Structure formats: C-alpha cells, structure tokens
Amino acid sequence: MDAFVIHGGKRLKGTVRVSGSKNASLPLMAAALLTEEPMTLRDVPHLSDIGNMVSLLRELGCEIEHGDDHVMTMRVTDEMNSHARYDVVRTMRASICVLGPLLAKRGEAKVSMPGGCAIGDRPVDLHLRGMEALGAEVTLDGGDIHVKAKKLRGARIFLGGPFGSTVLGTANVMSAAVLAEGTTVIEQAACEPEVVDLADMLTSMGANISGAGTPRLIIEGVKELKGVDHRVIADRIEAGTLIMGAAITNGDVKIENCPLDTLTAAMDRLNAIGVTAEPVEHADNPMRCTVSVGSARRLEPISVTTQPHPGFPTDLQAQLMALLTLADGNSMVTEKIFPERFLHVAELARMGAKCYRQGPTVMVSGVKKLTAAPVMASDLRASAGLVLAGMAAKGVTKVNRVYHLDRGYERLEEKLRGIGAEIERVAE
C-alpha cells in the first residue's frame, strides 16, 4: 500500500490543470450501455474508480479503450450479461450507475446491493423507487437487486429523501426514462453539474430532456439512442481542493480548466475566510477558465453547512475543515448530506487541530500551527483534507493508504509537486 510523505511548510506557486470529473465520468460511461453505436468520451481521468468501471462495463459486453490522452472509446458488442457482481460493486459503489441503463436497454439488470461505506449508510431506496415507478419489478435475490420490465413507461417520480435529492439516483432514473414510452417527470431531481453533463450527453445521443440543472426534469422517451463524442466537464471537487491547497499554504497558484461557475457556494465561503480566486483568462468561457488564487495572511473563521448543489458540497467539507484549523477563531462545520462523514476529525487532531464534534456539527477552534504526524483516513476526501493539512504543517507528515486518494485524484502528488509542494509517493 502506498503512502504520501509530505515535507510541509512550502508555499504553492505555479500553474496546475484540473482533470475531467470523476463523478461526471462514471454515469457517462454507464450510459454507453444505452446504445449499440460507438461512443467517445474525452478528458476521462485515469483513476482507480474509472478503472473499476471499465472492468465492470467489459463484463457487461462493452469494448473499451482508455488512452494516455484521456480519450475513452466504447462500444457494446454483446448484451448477454446484465449482472454487476458483488466482487465489483464492493470495490466501487458507483457501480449502481449501470442499473438504469441496463434495465432500459436490456429489460433486466442484476446489481449487487451496495453495502455501507466509510462515510455512512448509503441506501439506494430512491433509485429503486424510480425504477418501480417506471414499471419495473424490483426484487432482492441473494444480495442482488434484480430489476425487470418488459416495457418501461413514463411516470411522475419524486426523488427527494431525508438528505435532499440523490445524484446517482437521478442519473439512474433519467438514464432509464430516456428509453421509456411516454413522458417522465422527475421532481426534486439533483441539480449537480454532473447530472447536467449526463443530460447534455444523452441529449446529443438523441434523448429528449428538459430542465437539467433544476429540480424538475422532464423526459420524453425515444425509441433508441445513437453514438456520441462528448467532453467530460472539469472536476469541481479537484478544483476546490487545489484552491484550498493554495490557500492553506498561503500560496499563489493559477488553476487551469477551473469550473469556477460550479463553485459559487465554495467561493462564497472561501471569500469569507479571506481566499480569493479571480478568473484571469477565458473569462468568456467560465466552464474552462483559469483562476488565480491568493489568500490573506490571516484566515477568518466561518460557519458552513453542506447542502445539495448549488449549496456547499459535502465532497469539499474535509478539505475546508483542514483550512479552518488554521483560522483565527472558532468555525462551525455542519454536514447535512452524510452526517457521519467526519473520519478526518480524529486524524486532524493528531496534527494539533482543535475540533469538537457534536452529531453532524464540528466546532473548529483555529490554532496557530499544525504539527506533522503520521495519519490515515478511509475516505477519499478525508484523505485529501489530510494532504492539505500536511502541506501546511512544519515537519514530515505521512498520509497512509493513499489508494483512497487514487480513487478520485489523478496523480495528485505529481500535480502538487509541480506547484512547489514537497510530496512523494512511497511504497509501504
């Protein structure tokens, strides 16, 4: 198992590029199952979660190449197997993305029920409610979700749950509804940019979808979809992580391919802390702008609550908390999407952070400095928060088990080294 060794205290300086989005790529890849025509995806990052999805889609009869140039070509050549096995699903929960496309195209799917994960219980009841509303019969068989339908029919579906909408649930139901007969209306659909990207691609494939990016999606079913050549949106979470990396080291960094327009809530909170991110070029194309990040010497404490998009993203909560450990005062961080997503709290404490948790809220009492220590977290974003803390702490921090980071950040250590961090990957 690899670890990162970080010699902290270096200011980040220079230019770094944001990769294509992991969380957009996964449902886009699964949508290849909806057509027999070839599909090309551009700017697909090389990550272990993407590799897992490639393996799953190959098992489901899809031929795939993923080049060093980040271009992925895909084509379904065999529709015989519609079973996403436990061995695959337990390595990656996002395997659930194949449920809707398989049901719509092949009339049947078996997907192993995803178990809990490090960030809490993660039920899929809303996904199943959507499939049922479209006319599928849903059963549980030996730990597998089995969905079956001779024909899917459009329906009015409410996808709100106790913690808001569901991102992959919306992707799944939308991907099934595009081939259903008649009109589907999804109420309380997720508004995340990754859902919009999927709707855009499905539309280019011949689907009829309106309302993407709003809580009401309207889908008129079509008979079939064609192939497509599509560029994946930039990764807003990687961009936010890099912005906070610049801020926590009091750095001065240019971030290319930064989807600043999808980071409004994050920038609102970062501005309140004293961090600025100004678009410096391509201002006419905010999806792919370059931003110049700087921060005040003194970081202000703030309150923040994670929410569905366009609110502050849960996937940036750990990184923001790392930054707030060095603010001048007490901050409040409330997690409203995954109330147990606090694996980083105890690890940050090992570095001298003062965090007090009560249920879904953590009070972060800023300290003057963090001290280096060996740390570890079993969640992707928690690990990213620890890397940021390690870059700010004087001394040598070792972040263990970086395979979590490899699931969602492409060559993070190389990117950070390119802008001045002293960080190395070591084999354990």
**Site for ligand EPZ (CB under 6 A): how many residues?**
25
What is the distance between the terminal CA atoms of the chain, rounded to a whole angstrom? 5
- Closest distance to ligand EPZ from the beta carbon of 110 (Å): 18
Q: Is the CB of 124 or the CB of 345 nearer to ligand EPZ?
A: 124
- Closest distance to ligand EPZ from the beta carbon of 269 (Å): 16
Tracing tokens 């190449």 back to the chain, one arrives at: 65
- Closest distance to ligand EPZ from the beta carbon of 341 (Å): 8
Q: Is the CB of 30 or the CB of 180 nearer to ligand EPZ?
A: 30
Tracing tokens 């009401």 back to the chain, one arrives at: 216
Beta bridge partners of 163: none
- Closest distance to ligand EPZ from the beta carbon of 119 (Å): 6
Query: What does the per-residue mask of binding to ligand EPZ show for 165-204, with x meaning CB under 6 A?
Result: -xxxx--------------------x---x----------
Say whether residue 20 binds ligand EPZ (CB under 6 A). no
Q: Is the CB of 133 or the CB of 337 nearer to ligand EPZ?
A: 337
DSSP 146-190: EEE-SS-B--EEE--BTTB--HHHHHHHHHHHTTSBSEEEEET--
Task: Say how far apart CA 200 and CA 205 lie, in whole Å.
Answer: 9
- What are the tokens at 32? 């290849």
Task: Say how far apart CA 300 and CA 296 lie, in whole Å.
Answer: 9
- Closest distance to ligand EPZ from the beta carbon of 316 (Å): 10
User: What is the footprint of ligand EPZ within residues 301-320 (CB under 6 A)?
Assistant: 314-315
Binder of ligand EPZ out of 13, 75, 122, 148 (CB under 6 A):
122
How many helices (DSSP H) and strands (DSSP E) are in the chain?
A: 14, 24
CA atoms 138, 141, 146, 149: torsion sign: negative
- Closest distance to ligand EPZ from the beta carbon of 276 (Å): 25
What CA–CA distances, in Å, run from 169 to 109, 143, 176, 177, 395?
15, 19, 11, 12, 43
Say whether residue 125 binds ligand EPZ (CB under 6 A). yes
Q: Which stretch binds ligand EPZ (CB under 6 A): 12-20, 51-59, 163-171, 322-330?
A: 163-171
Q: Is the CB of 30 or the CB of 393 nearer to ligand EPZ?
A: 30
Task: Say how far apart CA 238 and CA 216 lie, in whole Å.
Answer: 28
User: What is the footprint of ligand EPZ within residues 353-412 (CB under 6 A)?
Assistant: 380-381, 408
The helix-helix angle for 264-273 and 236-248 (nearest 10°) equals: 10
Binder of ligand EPZ out of 19, 23, 52, 319 (CB under 6 A):
23
DSSP-derived secondary structure letter, 310: T
Does the annotation mark 289 as catalytic? no
Exactly one of 117, 191, 289, 355 is catalytic; which is it? Answer: 117
- In the complex, the residues that contact ligand EPZ under the rule CB under 6 A are 23, 26, 94, 122-127, 161-163, 166-169, 190, 194, 314-315, 337-338, 380-381, 408
Catalytic residues: 117
